[in-house]
């Protein structure tokens, strides 16, 4: 009788918002390969394919053990033919030829470098590549017209592509709290995005700001920004004003996915404390006195705070899946402002994330388990 090795067959629910995805990924080699294909699809303007690869990667991130054989994946959702082929290659030979070729491809490398400039999107990068601009040097030399964001992005390229650590996030938080406390006493500042999910590094630092008295937060962003600017903390900022009106949205046009809070995309000039400088801060003159850090600020009225908190904590795929679940399974419409129930033709209120999950008929998933 043949000794058969026991292999676990995995099974996991189909929406990422039904799963607990911690940062402890047991299948990083597989998910890195699929994420690279997702990134390439997104950089090529093929968003549908991008989402498909993101979903496949997310399904594997939720598994409790490393996958060793294809036959273990029978109960794992979101794995299309293309993803399965890549997984098979990696399991059999340690790498996928398609992914390795992509990694080396000039076009992919150029897209990564150019979209790595703050303010440069897929379309702009694609156009530049069409004009023969593949590197930062070529960009600087050939000098196409850059907007204000792109000029800041190019000037601070190295800093903005160096991951932000938790200590730096805490230093930014202290500055934002001082600013908010000074221009609106009682304002509350909450760290959101990847750091709220427990990540050790991020590409930026995200904050949600509110005030416990509804209405007091109105017009806060310009004051906050001018305080930060006057104290010399801003290298760049662009503020969008709040354009969300529930009455205007109404049942006819329920809360769309685009969110319209008062928002500021910025680049902070963060003083480097002695001893924290570390990698990249070296050079002839010793540690530099400051570094550039991307910071996103969002202001929400307290009545929408729970929705904003849920909508800005991420991950991006987790958010997308929550909205898909709401629409397809509950006949509801979820945004970072509100939850609208089409069956009852009314908005469902919530003052905590737990209540929103309950409205959606989902088990509560804490931020540290939303790393899909
Ligand atoms: P990282 O550590 O790389 O910054 P992150 O998860 O914090 O990862 P962000 O790009 O900072 O990623 O986004 C944080 C959250 O904010 C995500 O959940 C995303 O859905 C939300 N978000 C980002 N940009 C927008 C936007 N323009 N409109 C609405 N929500 C957004
Ligand atoms: Mn972030
Ligand atoms: Mn952000």
**What is the spatial distance between Cα 306 and Cα 352, in angstroms, rounded to a whole number?**
5
Instruction: Please report the atom of ligand 1 found closest to the CA of residue 193.
Output: 7
End-to-end CA distance of the chain: 42
pLDDT of residue 366: 98
CB distance 199 to ligand 1 below 6 Å: yes
**What is the spatial distance between Cα 127 and Cα 267, in angstroms, rounded to a whole number?**
25
CB distance 202 to ligand 1 below 6 Å: yes
Q: Identify whether 315 is preceded by a cis peptide bond (ω within 30 of 0).
A: yes
DSSP 8-state class, residue 94:
S
CA torsion through residues 351, 356, 361, 367, sign: negative
pLDDT of residue 5: 63
3-class DSSP state for residue 301?
Answer: coil
CB distance 319 to ligand 1 below 6 Å: yes
CA of 138 to the centre of ligand 2 (A): 29
Instruction: Please report the atom of ligand 1 found closest to the CA of residue 318.
Output: 18
pLDDT of residue 3: 59
CA of 193 to the centre of ligand 1 (A): 6
Residue among 21, 119, 193 to mutate when testing ligand 1 (max atoms within 8 A of CB) = 193
pLDDT of residue 242: 74
CA torsion through residues 67, 31, 309, 257, sign: negative
CA 309 to chain centroid, in Å, comes to 13
Q: Give pLDDT < 50 ranges for the chain.
A: 1, 250-256, 281-282
Cβ atoms of 87 and 70 within 8 Å: the answer is: yes
Residue closest by Cα to atom 30 of ligand 1: 312
CB distance 367 to ligand 1 below 6 Å: no
pLDDT of residue 244: 67
Strand ranges across the sheet with 290-299: 188-192, 205-210, 290-299, 262-271, 234-240
**What is the spatial distance between Cα 49 and Cα 42, in angstroms, rounded to a whole number?**
8
Cβ atoms of 211 and 217 within 8 Å: the answer is: yes
Give ipTM to 2 decimals: 0.97
């Amino acid at each position: 009788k043949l000794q058969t090795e026991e292999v676990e067959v995995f099974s996991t629910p189909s929406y990422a918002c039904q799963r607990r995805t911690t940062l402890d990924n047991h299948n990083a080699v597989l998910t890195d390969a699929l994420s690279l294909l997702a990134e390439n699809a997104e950089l090529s303007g093929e968003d549908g394919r991008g989402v498909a690869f993101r979903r496949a990667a997310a399904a594997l991130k939720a598994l409790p053990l490393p996958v060793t054989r294809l036959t273990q994946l029978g109960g794992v959702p979101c794995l299309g033919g293309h993803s399965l082929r890549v997984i098979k290659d990696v399991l059999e030979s340690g790498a996928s030829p398609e992914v390795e070729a992509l990694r080396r491809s000039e076009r992919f490398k150029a897209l990564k470098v150019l979209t790595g400039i703050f303010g440069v999107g897929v379309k702009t990068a694609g156009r530049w590549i069409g004009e023969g601009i593949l590197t930062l040097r070529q960009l600087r030399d050939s000098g196409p017209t850059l907007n204000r964001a792109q000029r800041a992005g190019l000037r601070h390229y190295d800093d903005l592509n160096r991951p932000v650590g938790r200590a730096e996030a805490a230093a930014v938080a202290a500055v934002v709290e001082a600013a908010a406390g000074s221009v609106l006493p009682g304002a509350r500042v909450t760290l959101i995005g990847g750091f709220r999910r427990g990540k050790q590094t991020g590409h930026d630092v995200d904050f949600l700001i509110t005030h416990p008295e509804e209405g007091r937060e109105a017009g806060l962003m310009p004051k906050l920004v001018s305080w930060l600017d006057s104290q010399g903390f801003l290298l760049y900022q662009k503020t969008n004003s709040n354009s969300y009106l529930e009455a205007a949205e109404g049942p006819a046009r329920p809360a769309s996915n685009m969110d319209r809070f008062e928002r500021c995309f910025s680049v902070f000039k963060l003083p480097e404390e002695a001893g924290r400088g570390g990698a990249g801060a070296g050079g002839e003159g010793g540690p530099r006195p400051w570094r550039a850090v991307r910071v996103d600020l969002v202001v929400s009225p307290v009545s929408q705070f729970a929705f904003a908190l849920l909508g800005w904590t991420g991950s991006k795929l987790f958010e997308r899946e929550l909205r898909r679940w709401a629409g397809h399974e509950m006949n509801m419409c979820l945004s970072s402002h509100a939850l609208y129930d089409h069956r009852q033709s009314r908005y469902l209120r919530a003052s905590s994330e737990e209540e929103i999950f309950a409205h959606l008929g989902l088990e509560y998933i804490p931020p540290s388990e939303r790393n899909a």
